[in-house]
Copies of this chain bind each other. A is one copy, B any other.
Amino acid sequence: MAFPAALHDHSACIHAALDAAEAECRRRGARLTDIRRIVLELVWESHRPVGAYALLESLGRLGRSAAPPTVYRALDFLLAHGLIHRVASRNGFIGCPHPGHAHGGQILLCAQCGMAAELDDPALDREIALSAARLGFSVSHQTIEVEGLCPTCRAQAGDTA
């Protein structure tokens, strides 16, 4: 899962995500309604976490103005079916590039440009489960949010390490 480059064909990202979502919903017998699809599309407008109220405004700009519960319900649906991840440290949401494929949320966040990417390292999951087990704790769900500098921003800052 590479970090998104500053410039890339982002419409491809959106299309891929929407297609994957359709497929996943079909597979699960879940209904990807208009509102849900639109919200997912809006979440995918960038690779940065988006807040619920920003989505609300975007909806308004599309002539689909709504109240908070509408957005939160759509987000809940998308979360429940693994189509987006919640970014707790930012009160925001990002699209998941590979729904269906089981994985906990391991998210990299660039402090400079705000871009997010998934780490998705199974060794990490294992290490956490193992480490927790040593304390007698059994893991059901984990949130990993890592802040730092993305490759692009490091290069800009002259970080050659």
Contact = CB atoms under 8 A, between A and B. Distances in A.
Contact of A128 (B138, B146, B151): B146
Given A88-B88, A127-B127, A132 B147 contact: no
Contacts of A123: 127, 131
Contacts of A154: 136, 138
A128 B137 contact: no
Interface in A124-146: 124, 127-128, 131-132, 135-146
A110 B139 CA distance: 9
A138 to B, nearest CB: 5
B141 A143 contact: no
Contacts of A102: none
A142 to B, nearest CB: 5
B135 A124 contact: no
Contacts of A62: none
Interface residues of A, number: 37
Contact of A138 (B88, B140, B148): B148
A149 B144 contact: no
A159 interface: yes
A136 to B, nearest CB: 3
A19 interface: no
A65 interface: no
Contact of A127 (B3, B124, B138, B140): B124
Contacts of A108: 132, 135, 137
